[in-house]
A and B are shown apart, each in its own frame.
Chain A
Amino acid sequence: MSFRHLDQFAQVSSPITALAPALRVLGTVVVALGAATLRLGAWPQLATLAGLVLVLAAVARIPLRTLLLRMLGPLVFVLFASVALLFLVPGEVVARVWWIDLTDNGLLRFGSALGRAFTALAAAVILVSTTTFPEIVQALRELRLPHAVTTALGLAYRFLYVIVDELERLQRAARSRNAGAGAAKRRRLLVSVVAAVLRRALVRSERTHRAMLARGFHGEIISLHRSRVDARSIMLLALLGLVVGAVTLSSYLAR
């Protein structure tokens, strides 16, 4: 799946896409925070939150397979990042793999890390699948992120595609001349291509600046920002917050 079509569900009519983008962002943060602050070992509550997010994905009309595929890359990263917990965290040894002792606390933390990552990632995938990047940038503005940050994000997003296109074109041209046969040659080729792309990016930045000046730019990008937050969206966010909050709290009360 190309990164260019991450937001393919943004045009699908659903209760999720009907929500204001700012509230979708906040909802994602609420779910991620809820998962992150669950008591260690609160498996029923973790399963509840994960189940809630899967329900939200279904409401957003994102097929389960699509959701899981999009989470796969980051989840594999989390897996590798947290596998050391299995044997580094002190505790009672519960299993041995080759010469490595797996402890009960290690398993607990490893499982929690995966479970929390799954829940937070699923929420994040729902957000980026149902919200275009311009909407996310607008949402961040509404949430009072500094203007310089949101402007830089918007420009970077736009030109990421231009730079990736140029990179692909240069690589294609090089491959058509049989460049890069062999790992070492491919590495050298990559360095040359990246250098060429950076040079072109610099030249393009000057041209873009001229284009901005030609349309009256005088140092600040003024946004079209208008809030889409309505009472219904606020109520739904509040409901989500209550549910997540109750689940998280119950993990501490139900010991």
Chain B
Amino acid sequence: MPLLEVADLTYRYPDGTHALSGVSFAVERGEKVALLGPTGAGKSTLLLHLNGLLLPASGCVTIDGIAVSGGTVREVRQRVGLVFQDPDDQLFLPSLLEDVAFGPLNEGCDPEGAELLARGVLQSLGLGGNEMRAAHHLSGGEKRLAALATVLVSHPLVLVLDEPTSNLDARGKRRLVRLLRERGETLLVATHDLAVARALCERAVIMADGALVHDGQLEHIVTDQEFLDHHGLWAEL
């Protein structure tokens, strides 16, 4: 059974905009998949369905055998770690320690245990010593790592990242990619950056205008410039 399965997912925004049209794909346990597509393709909208922040107009999303619905969001959110595009959206408490402990505390962990978990994760990501710092005192790269820490602390089965390397310099990208490679979670990464996608993932799911247009091995498409141009992607300048 796939760990993550999206079946014929359709979604329309309240203003009537068709955001997703019949999207279907599955991700097996341990797989690392890149979600590619131009701006407005529906990538972020799709990601919001994976932990029940949006619910489908039709179709189904299943995480670890659990169909995502209003009644199962709590269980689903314990299994899916979603890292948002802007780390400032994810770091909303006065200190990093509180931000990272936020998830475990909501899952019923006691304060001492949550603090221990949070300190451990921050240490493992090279952010040890910054526990009492506020997010606005961090660099862009540190904020990205901190946002990742807020999710990793809950040991999700699936890690879902929305543009994890945007606004990062080359060193920051390398550091983040290295960290993600070392981890064993199933990974779904929405990105414009094909270099990052190639570094992390073997498989690519490509979206355009709310529909899934390609699902296959990443290496097969990165050298096909015509394919990339057609789908609004850019391998190299």
Contact = CB atoms under 8 A, between A and B. Distances in A.
Interface string B95-129: 10110011101110001101100000000000000
Contacts of B74: 216, 218
Interface stretch (B12-20, B60-68, B85-93, B195-203): B85-93
A14 B107 CA distance: 38
Contacts of A158: 91-94, 134-136
B111 A224 contact: yes
B103 to A, nearest CB: 4
Contact of B101 (A133, A208, A224): A224
Interface of A: 4, 132-135, 137, 154-155, 157-159, 161-162, 165, 204, 207-208, 210-218, 221-226
A218 to B, nearest CB: 7
Contact of A207 (B80, B89, B105, B111): B89
**Interface majority SS (helix, strand, loop, mixed), chain A:** helix
Contact of B89 (A137, A211, A217): A211
A224 B92 contact: no
Nearest to A4: B136
A165 B93 CA distance: 17
B35 interface: no
Contact of B106 (A132, A133, A222): A222
B157 to A, nearest CB: 14
A122 B196 CA distance: 52
A165 B82 CA distance: 25
A162 B93 CA distance: 12
B90 A211 contact: yes
Nearest to A11: B132
- Residue among A132, A137, A216 facing the most chain B CB atoms (10 A cut-off): A216
Contacts of A137: 94
Contact of A215 (B86, B94, B135, B154): B154
B77 interface: yes
28 contacts: A4-B136, A4-B137, A132-B134, A134-B93, A134-B94, A134-B95, A154-B93, A154-B94, A158-B92, A161-B136, A162-B136, A165-B136, A204-B88, A207-B86, A208-B90, A210-B89, A211-B84, A211-B92, A212-B92, A213-B53, A214-B53, A215-B77, A215-B103, A215-B154, A218-B74, A224-B97, A225-B111, A226-B111
